[in-house]
Amino acid sequence: MNQDNTLKIALAQISPVWLNKQKTIEKIIRYINEAGTKNCDLVVFGEGLLPGYPFWLSYTNGAEFNSTFHKKIQAHYIENSVQIEKGDLKNICASARKNNVAIYLGTIERAEDRGGHSLYCSLVYIDKEGEIQSVHRKLQPTYEERLTWSPGDGHGLQVHPLKKFTVGGLNCWENWMPLSRTSLYAQGENLHIAVWPGNEYNTVDITRFIAMEGRTFVVSVCSTMRTSDIPEDTPHYEELIKYEKEFMANGGSCIAGPDGQWIVPPTTNTEGLITAEIDFQKVLEERHNFDPVGHYSRPDITRLVVNRERQSIASFED
């Protein structure tokens, strides 16, 4: 294996300190430091890990209108969400720089350019120098997620160089959206990051499918989540623990190669870093017979148009 072609990846299959922004940031930094000691080039965290996935919606009649219960927990969620413009990620960026490791991090973003009160499920890419290079807001929250998250835009449909690789990423069921995948393939993506809130049933089929479709490495990273991860000072704590179970998210993180075969099969019911090395040469080998946006495409017949403008309600001319 040519070392210039290799990339060492850490899959951080961990739980948040649920809905506690500061303590979850501290936990994330501990795992970035661990990835650094293992000489990893990239560490990936699950969907919405900072500060956590809204599991309560499935158990507490999340669609009840004007509910005092849901107003209070939503306000707590907003208060613990990530304000990038105010520097909430600065310590994580510093840890990336210190450890010379790139990061994909699932966050719940409180976007200042959308007024600062609505939430977006965002996937943040931080390079090895500790610079935020893209923030991708989930295009279409899934089912009950729409009760707490807002739909995003195409601004973050971007890819990034990482050694010889070109890396891009999507949140959860966005990975089922063929045009979103194609927008990344078209930019040369050959290392696809798929982040999920957790559970093997999400990753076991789609990970290998994307690998075979794109002839790309696919890294699926999930969180874990247990009732014991709910802090006692969470609003309606006693009510929440009645509905939850030992594992709300059991992991399922995995890696598939560009031939669709497992490099790391789905791993469940365990928390920690999962590491593996991948070889860029395998991408070139598998593109021999199929390249979805290259020699096996027909842009004279079908083409994709992508709007990457960041959407906002107002533009100001001072």
Would you give the DSSP letter of residue 278? E
Rounded distance, CA 205 to CA 124, Å? 25
The encoded tokens of residue 92 equal 């994580």
Domains of the chain: 3-286 (3.60.110.10)
Rounded distance, CA 8 to CA 35, Å? 10
- The closest of 171, 141, 18, 21 to 81, measured between CA atoms, is 21
The encoded tokens of residue 153 equal 């835009």
Amino acid identity, position 106: G
Helix (H) or strand (E) holding 178: helix 178-185
- The closest of 160, 37, 161 to 99, measured between CA atoms, is 37
How many other β-carbons are positioned within 10 Å of the β-carbon of residue 98?
13
Rounded distance, CA 43 to CA 301, Å? 39
Distances (CA, A) of 142 to 7, 20, 186, 258, 312: 32, 23, 25, 27, 22
Rounded distance, CA 47 to CA 222, Å? 7
pLDDT at 239 (0 to 100): 83
pLDDT at 157 (0 to 100): 98
What does residue 60 show for φ and ψ, rounded to 5 degrees?
-130, 35
Task: Provide the residue-wise pLDDT of the chain in tens; the chain has 318 residues.
Answer: 456 789 999 999 999 999 999 999 999 999 999 999 999 999 999 999 999 999 999 888 889 999 999 999 999 999 999 999 999 999 999 999 999 999 999 999 999 999 999 999 999 999 999 999 999 999 999 999 999 999 999 999 999 999 999 999 999 999 999 999 999 999 999 999 999 999 999 999 999 999 999 999 999 999 999 888 888 898 888 888 876 567 789 999 999 999 999 999 999 999 999 999 999 999 999 999 999 999 999 999 999 999 999 999 988 898
- Using CB atoms within 10 Å of the CB of residue 299, give its burial: 0 to 12 exposed, 13 to 18 middle, 19+ buried: exposed
* DSSP three-state, residue 33: helix
pLDDT at 3 (0 to 100): 67
Cβ-contact 185, 212 below 8 angstroms: no
- Using CB atoms within 10 Å of the CB of residue 86, give its burial: 0 to 12 exposed, 13 to 18 middle, 19+ buried: exposed
Rounded distance, CA 57 to CA 22, Å? 23
State yes or no: cis peptide before 16, omega within 30 of 0: no
pLDDT at 237 (0 to 100): 86
Rounded distance, CA 303 to CA 196, Å? 29
User: Which residue is listed with tokens 């209108």?
Assistant: 65
pLDDT at 213 (0 to 100): 98
pTM of the predicted structure, to 2 decimals: 0.96
